[in-house]
Amino acid sequence: MEKKPRVSVLIPVYNTQNYLEECLESILNQSLQDIEILVMDDGSTDGSRELIEGYCTDDSRVHLFSQENSGQSVARNRLIDMAKGDYIYFMDSDDILDKEALASCYDLAERERLDIVTFDAGIIYEGDMKPLSYNYIRNGLIPLDILSGESFFRLTVENGSYRAAPWLLFVRKGLLESGSVRFYPGIIHEDELFTPKLYLIAKRVSYLPKIFFTRRVRASSTMTKSFSERNFSGYCTVVKELNVFSRELSLQNRVTVKKIITDITSVLAYNSDSLNYSKKLRLAKFIVKEGLLHDMKTRDIAILIFPFLKRAKSIIKRGVGQFT
């Protein structure tokens, strides 16, 4: 009988040849060696597939699967269904994982019978990429106690330490199976829908105050490109689905999910100046239809109606900055 791996590392890949070797080496060199590495080539055209095939030849833990370009959600969902490990870790193909990450998460999860272990991340900025307005270091903001998923979710959303990125999550596979939680296909920002659902079905969650992951912020990444129709469509889908999802929740959890919806609506309003008139009108109708107007900040409503205010705010900030 084939021995089941302790952890399944799932890696969707699309045209990340220049970063893939460093990513895979960081997984292969984990101190926890009893793992499987499932890689889904999502229709790459840059030589990524050939690089992965070399790793499959050299290390039996690496398994390559392929699909026509269908997006990260479809790739991850297929890999979840194929995973044999007791735990799942979601890796991005252009990033790096600390060699002690999987062992530390596995030991804690087994010792405390956890559904989810979450940790922190650092950031590498490529070229002249501007620093993000947020980070992934939450030490001091999240208690080290074992919390229910609901309590953890509410606490982190309320104090601003909540992060939806799936690569911050080490997850018991049984949790994904019992709740049938999967990534919404065909959109970006799908983690904004996936992660709340996951936390709200988890019984036992804990935080490790360790920087185990390194995110690479680069110009050609999906998440750092200029706000586009894909961002607009993805966020609107997430808001719509979260609205539906929240109707079945307790009042406390519904309030927390509504806060995430309000934050996403704020992002949509702030970036609405990149939309043409018809799409902006579509966004306004969407906000009204989904009942979002009541919870929107006055600032966001003003920017949505008068986009020049966003530029004025930026000018004022630069002016004030000269005297501080």
What is the spatial distance between Cα 216 and Cα 121, in angstroms, rounded to a whole number? 10
Q: Where are the alpha helices (DSSP H) in the chain?
A: 17-28, 48-58, 72-82, 101-112, 149-159, 173-179, 191-201, 229-246, 251-270, 277-289, 298-305, 308-321
Question: In this model, does residue 324 exceed pLDDT 80?
Answer: no
Q: What is the pLDDT of residue 297?
A: 87
DSSP code of residue 220: T
3-state secondary structure 63-106: EEEECCCCCHHHHHHHHHHHCCCCEEEECCCCCEECCCHHHHHH
Q: What is the pLDDT of residue 311?
A: 61
Of 123-132, 239-248, 264-273, which has the strongest mean pLDDT?
A: 239-248
What residue ranges do the domains of the chain occupy? 7-217, 229-321
313 against 63, higher pLDDT? 63
Please state which CATH number belongs to domain 7-217. Answer: 3.90.550.10
What is the spatial distance between Cα 166 and Cα 301, in angstroms, rounded to a whole number? 31
Per-residue pLDDT of 22-54, as tens digits, reads: 999 999 999 999 999 999 999 999 999 999 999
The whole-model pTM stands at 0.91
Average pLDDT for 97-105: 98
Q: What is the largest CA-CA distance in the chain?
A: 71
Q: Which residue, among 160, 153, 246, 241, has the nearest Cα to 200 in the 3D structure?
A: 153
Q: What is the pLDDT of residue 319?
A: 35
Question: In this model, does residue 221 exceed pLDDT 70?
Answer: no
Is residue 293 within 8 Å of residue 302, measured between CB atoms?
A: no
Q: What is the pLDDT of residue 323?
A: 31
DSSP code of residue 226: P
Q: What is the pLDDT of residue 165?
A: 98
